[in-house]
Amino acid sequence: MSPGGGGQVPTIDEDAARELQALLDGPHAALREATRQRLSALGLEKADGLPRDDYRDLVLQWTREVGRAGDGARSFPREHGGQDDPGGRIATFQTVGHSDLSLLVKMGVQFGLFGGAVHRLGTDKHHRAYLRDIGTLDLPGCFAMSESGHGSDVRSIRTQARYDAEAGEFVLHTPDETARKDWIGNAARHARMAAVFAQLDVAGEAQGVHAFLVPIRHADGSVVAGVEIEDCGDKMGLQGVDNGRLRFSAVRIPRDNLLDRFGTVAEDGVYSSPVRSPGARFFTMIGALVEGRICIGGAGLAVARNALTIAVRWGERRRQFGTGLDMDTPLMDYLTHQRRLLPAVCESYVLQAAHDHLTQQYVEVLEQPEPGGDKQRAVEALAAGLKAVATWHMVAAVQNARECCGGKGYLWENRFASLRNDSDVFVTFEGDNTVLLQLVAKTLLSDYAAQFEDLDAIAMMRTLTSRQAGRVLGDLGRTFKRSDLRDPDWQAEALQFREDRLVDSLARRLRTLVKDGTDPLRALSRCQDHALAAARAHIERLSHELFRANATTPLLEQVRDLAVLSTIEHDRAWWLEHGFLSADASKDLQKQVNALCADLRPHALTLVAGFGIPDALLRAPIAIAEQTGGAGSD
């Protein structure tokens, strides 16, 4: 019973919840369900209160267990113990995001980053030699890309890999402290091998960044000579992951240890690559690693759902007295509470549609690779942008959910401490969110430039006039009907209009700055806030566009409406400034958000039931079963 007693806890519409869950689970529903059951059986509570190194060892054991059950090699080729199923891997990874996040990251490092490097950057000899053992965790490894001085910019890393033709070996070397490999998950305690990114030097010629397999520990755990390993120490969260730092002192590895899909060195010391330009080669290589970003975005959505489920369930149970309504009013009845939780719940459904689309596109690109092609570029841009938008959505959702649970949310047992501390790094690793949105903006700008490629100046102006200015001028006098706001065509137009205009005006500003003599990079920096707004507008437009087809029931139509109207409301000043919203329409928009909150409020429990998170993964006492008595200060 709720502490306030009396009121009935609203019921879940089980049929609707099943439908919602089927929508979120998508094509990998069975795999997700099997993963949920496997995770539920792990006994996640065993990690509670463990000293750091014991926790790390437990996480290693879990990773091995989950890996051997099939998740480890899922995206690897069948002939190496895998299932050729990267889409399935991305789905199970997201599902692990509902559980212990140290397990998530450990799996990501071992199977995704280390395994992914061997799989996507290596060739058959590497696959045969290593993939099976990587999938079972018989070969624990790490992914040594980041350096202390070079976080977000891989091209500038400074670890050296010189080819010694005489010996037929590469010599890996760390020239100074800024080239130290830093933040390397799995390195401090467990990895026996590292995929090390370094600048390849063949006969005095720089060939750019390549990846090398470097043994760092012997089977007995002792460190290989010439390798120095340091523990990064305590972190805000993810204490079950052993992040470390690596230094190499002229460490020699055989020629075969170059992951040579995109560049190889023959026995006689001649370098060759299927990708001629060093720039293109670098981006092809990096592009092959995009899966990590897709995975982190998906996991961010999972984390947000855990937090929202806990808060909504508690909001139904917890009664608030004396601050407005009757004596026995659940917190969820308060408009502010609804506004803090329900739009985020709806946005969770929307962003999943984008994540699913991205996964599908990514798999298609893998199946029919066309390096540097439009589809691959689109996948890379969406992976970057969605990772940023999804993980910032997560940060806001977790904070709001925690605050909505008051004192109860501050108790360790109710999980917000772990949810937040473990996930917080998602916004700055696998590419800092700000940097990622800049990448998206650059893609938008080149797409924008491309569409005018074949036009002369007059044709270009005509195009602009019809697409942009026409809309603006036409809309200034437009009359807004209340019903417009719930019209998906109107919603789509609003989001498209903002994206088009932001990209267009960004391009014009840059052109003017450059024409006036500003260095192009400096010009982009001067417009950085503009570029980020354009990137975000693009991701928001695309996500809502993709979700639209899913809004097949009256409930899902309301989900769509609340998500899109909240998104527009948040940035409504922009539409006001650009004549797309009148002052009255903008005020009406806010009323509609309130009305939709009221409409969806009775379905709140059903909507989070649709997230399908087992109690064994939620683990927060305030969100599980009937609580006796307990409540906290709000």
Which residue in 166, 220, 234, 456 binds its own copies (CB under 8 A)? 234
Shorter beta-carbon distance to its own copies: residue 242 or 424: 424
> CB 35 → its own copies: shortest distance, Å?
27
* 160 binds its own copies, rule: CB under 8 A: no
- Whole-angstrom distance, CA of residue 273 vs CA of residue 85: 28
Which residue in 424, 499, 500, 540 binds its own copies (CB under 8 A)? 424
Shorter beta-carbon distance to its own copies: residue 91 or 524: 524
> CB 361 → its own copies: shortest distance, Å?
25
**Residues 520-549 contacting its own copies, CB under 8 A:** 521-522, 524-526, 528-529, 532
Q: Which stretch binds its own copies (CB under 8 A): 201-209, 212-220, 549-557, 575-583?
A: 575-583
**Residues 251-310 contacting its own copies, CB under 8 A:** none
* 446 binds its own copies, rule: CB under 8 A: no
Total residues binding its own copies (CB under 8 A): 89
Q: Which stretch binds its own copies (CB under 8 A): 8-16, 134-142, 280-288, 517-525?
A: 517-525
**Residues 586-605 contacting its own copies, CB under 8 A:** 586-587, 590, 594
* SS3 label, residue 312: helix
* 149 binds its own copies, rule: CB under 8 A: yes
> CB 458 → its own copies: shortest distance, Å?
28
Pairing of strands 193-202, 160-164: parallel
Check if the beta carbon of residue 238 is closer than 8 Å to that of residue 422: yes
Two structure tokens written together for 403 = 């605050």
Shorter beta-carbon distance to its own copies: residue 219 or 521: 521
Which residue in 206, 321, 372, 469 binds its own copies (CB under 8 A)? 321
Two structure tokens written together for 447 = 């797409």
Q: Which stretch binds its own copies (CB under 8 A): 353-361, 370-378, 519-527, 544-552?
A: 519-527
- State how far Cα 304 lies from the chain centre: 12
> CB 562 → its own copies: shortest distance, Å?
14
**Residues 335-354 contacting its own copies, CB under 8 A:** 335-336, 339
Q: Please provide the DSSP assignment of 15-47 as one string.
A: HHHHHHHHHHHGGGHHHHHHHHHHHHTS-GGGG
Two structure tokens written together for 162 = 């010189």
Measure the N-to-C terminal CA separation of the chain; round to a whole number of Å.
18
Shorter beta-carbon distance to its own copies: residue 268 or 529: 529
- State how far Cα 496 lies from the chain centre: 23
**Residues 7-66 contacting its own copies, CB under 8 A:** 49
Report the 10 Å Cβ neighbour count for 69: 12
Q: Please provide the DSSP assignment of 557-625 as one string.
A: HHHHHHHHHHHHHHTHHHHHHTTSS-HHHHHHHHHHHHHHHHHHGGGHHHHHHTT---HHHH--GGGSS
Report the 10 Å Cβ neighbour count for 180: 21
Report the 10 Å Cβ neighbour count for 17: 19
Report the 10 Å Cβ neighbour count for 628: 7
According to DSSP, the residues that pair with 215 across neighbouring strands are 193
Which residue in 382, 425, 535, 542 binds its own copies (CB under 8 A)? 425
> CB 427 → its own copies: shortest distance, Å?
6
Which residue in 152, 361, 468, 496 binds its own copies (CB under 8 A)? 152
> CB 473 → its own copies: shortest distance, Å?
13
* 518 binds its own copies, rule: CB under 8 A: no
Residue whose token pair is 């893998």: 366
Two structure tokens written together for 148 = 């202390």
Q: Which stretch binds its own copies (CB under 8 A): 25-33, 110-118, 289-297, 319-327?
A: 319-327
Reference 146, options 154, 134, 136; nearest CA is 154
> CB 388 → its own copies: shortest distance, Å?
11
Two structure tokens written together for 401 = 């959910």
* 178 binds its own copies, rule: CB under 8 A: yes
* 434 binds its own copies, rule: CB under 8 A: yes
* 199 binds its own copies, rule: CB under 8 A: no
* 170 binds its own copies, rule: CB under 8 A: no
Q: Please provide the DSSP assignment of 465-491 as one string.
A: IIIIIHHHHHHHTPPPPGGGGG-HHHH
> CB 532 → its own copies: shortest distance, Å?
6
Per-residue burial over 246-274, b if 16 or more Cβ lie within 10 Å, else e, is bbbeebbbebbbbbbbbbbbeeeeebebe
Q: Which stretch binds its own copies (CB under 8 A): 179-187, 261-269, 366-374, 460-468?
A: 179-187
* 468 binds its own copies, rule: CB under 8 A: no
User: With 0-12 CB in 10 A as exposed, 13-18 as middle and 19+ as buried, what is 57?
Assistant: middle
Shorter beta-carbon distance to its own copies: residue 210 or 357: 210
- Whole-angstrom distance, CA of residue 198 vs CA of residue 156: 10
**Residues 614-633 contacting its own copies, CB under 8 A:** 628-633
* SS3 label, residue 182: strand
User: With 0-12 CB in 10 A as exposed, 13-18 as middle and 19+ as buried, what is 498?
Assistant: buried
* 69 binds its own copies, rule: CB under 8 A: no
Shorter beta-carbon distance to its own copies: residue 377 or 526: 526
Which residue in 21, 148, 496, 518 binds its own copies (CB under 8 A)? 148
* 580 binds its own copies, rule: CB under 8 A: no
* SS3 label, residue 627: coil
> CB 443 → its own copies: shortest distance, Å?
14
Report the 10 Å Cβ neighbour count for 11: 9
* 363 binds its own copies, rule: CB under 8 A: no
Which residue in 14, 79, 153, 164 binds its own copies (CB under 8 A)? 153
Check if the beta carbon of residue 314 is closer than 8 Å to that of residue 622: yes
Q: Which stretch binds its own copies (CB under 8 A): 95-103, 126-134, 257-265, 412-420?
A: 412-420
- State how far Cα 107 lies from the chain centre: 15
Which residue in 161, 395, 604, 618 binds its own copies (CB under 8 A)? 395
* 183 binds its own copies, rule: CB under 8 A: yes
* 226 binds its own copies, rule: CB under 8 A: no
